[in-house]
């Protein structure tokens, strides 16, 4: 009888120790698991965005790490805004131009005619999309060049991307085109004037891949 009690008591002690070890191991693994999960989510820091407001009648947001050249020397076009980054080869240029002419020397009436009037664009991959709420065309020219264009208020607006560093510039291109908006109050009746960037930070949620 005493032996049974002794054996039973010993088993209880062993089970208690095993349970304690199991609980301790579980707690010790928890921080590693949580850290690994956060890493897998790929949470990136919020980028500081600046709003560019152009007298030609449009606005867009872009990362404050980019260098902006508004090409004041260009007296032919209504807008010529070039965005570059010294750390990433490539660039994005936003244009506002007079409407191109068809073969009949008549200004194009819509984006379909714009693409058809340009042999290089017409022979490339063309997708239907929008820019600033307007019907637009997105064209992949070659491997690393994107052109997105829309007609608004009698002008052709295009966002041209030379995406040499594709992973970087593709993201920037999407940020610019998705935030692009036309300003109906703007007066673009004259050629290129002084453009300016309004230093307004834009709150963005953390990007989770």
pTM comes to 0.71
Indicate whether 148 belongs to any domain: yes
Indicate whether 6 belongs to any domain: no
Indicate whether 21 belongs to any domain: no
Indicate whether 156 belongs to any domain: yes
Contact 49, 61 (CB under 8 A): yes
Indicate whether 62 belongs to any domain: yes
Extract the tokens encoding 52. Answer: 């560019």
Which region among 42-56, 143-157, 190-204 has the lowest average model confidence (pLDDT)?
190-204
Distance, in Å, from the CA atom of 128 to the CA atom of 144, rounded to the nearest integer, reads 19
For residues 157-183, give the mean pLDDT.
97
Range of the domain at 138: 49-182
Residue 43: per-residue pLDDT = 43
pLDDT digits (tens, 9 = 90+) for 118-148: 999 999 999 999 999 999 999 999 889 999 9
Closest residue by Cα to residue 51 from 89, 81, 85 = 81
pLDDT digits (tens, 9 = 90+) for 14-39: 555 555 545 555 554 444 444 444 33
* CATH code of the domain covering residue 63: 3.40.1000.10
In this structure, the number of other CB atoms found within 10 A of the CB of residue 187 comes to 11
Indicate whether 13 belongs to any domain: no
Q: How many domains does the chain divide into?
A: 1
Indicate whether 176 belongs to any domain: yes
Indicate whether 203 belongs to any domain: no
Reported in sequence order, the residue ranges of the chain that DSSP labels E, i.e. its strands, are 49-54, 58-63, 67-69, 79-85, 88-98, 125-131, 134-141, 145-152, 155-162, 181-182, 196-202
């Amino acid at each position: 009888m005493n032996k049974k009690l002794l054996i039973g008591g010993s088993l209880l002690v062993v089970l208690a120790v095993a349970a304690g070890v199991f609980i301790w191991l579980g707690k010790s693994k928890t921080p590693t698991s949580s850290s690994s999960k956060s890493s897998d989510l790929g949470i990136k820091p919020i980028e500081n965005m600046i709003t560019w407001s152009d007298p030609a009648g449009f606005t867009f947001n872009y990362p404050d790490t980019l260098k902006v050249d508004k090409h004041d020397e260009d007296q032919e076009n209504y807008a010529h805004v070039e965005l570059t980054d010294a750390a990433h080869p490539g660039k994005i240029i936003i244009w506002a131009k007079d409407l191109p002419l068809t073969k009949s020397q008549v200004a194009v009436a819509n984006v379909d005619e714009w693409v058809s009037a340009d042999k290089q664009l017409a022979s490339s991959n063309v997708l239907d999309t929008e820019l600033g709420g307007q019907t637009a065309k997105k064209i992949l020219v070659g491997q690393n060049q994107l052109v997105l264009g829309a007609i608004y208020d009698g002008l052709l607006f295009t966002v041209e991307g030379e995406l040499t560093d594709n992973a970087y510039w593709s993201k920037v291109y999407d940020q610019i085109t998705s935030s692009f908006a036309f300003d109906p109050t703007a007066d673009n009746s004259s050629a290129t004037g002084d453009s300016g960037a309004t230093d307004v930070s834009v709150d963005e949620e953390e990007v989770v891949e």
